[in-house]
Amino acid sequence: MAFYVDLGFETLSESERGVTVARGEAKLFLFEGVAGPAPMRELGLFGNPPGIDHVSFLVDDVDALHDELVAQGIQTAGEPRDQDWGARAFGLRDPDGNNLYFLRWLKR
């Protein structure tokens, strides 16, 4: 939970099952899963095991968000870069190994 608060998410509701958090219009339901190792996923779209590969968040200023997170000590996979598929983006992993991407579409 603390990791997502550090990413700028706010708590919307809590129950015995979990917590709903939001950042802008994006909402996530966080809950404690079954104990055991999760399959490791690379920050990339190919070669990962079946399942949800990543979650992407549209943000207003990718570079400012990256700088803010790095200043807080959050490790990212590198500086934001313009992607050949039309967005400026950077990625990171949450403490459970889930891949998260933050992006903004490039103007065409």
pLDDT digits (tens, 9 = 90+) for 48-70: 666 667 889 999 999 999 999 99
Task: Output the pTM of the full model.
Answer: 0.78
Q: Which whole number is the average pLDDT over 88-102?
A: 91
Integer CA distances (angstroms), 24 to 20, 37, 38, 97, 105, in order? 13, 31, 28, 23, 17
User: Domains in the chain, please, with CATH?
Assistant: 1-31 (no CATH), 52-108 (3.10.180.10)
Whole-angstrom distance, CA of residue 50 vs CA of residue 73: 31
Distance CA 17, CA 107 (A): 41
Binning pLDDT at 50, 70 and 90, where does residue 95 land? confident
φ/ψ bin of 35: left (φ > 0), alpha (ψ from -120 to 50), beta (otherwise): beta
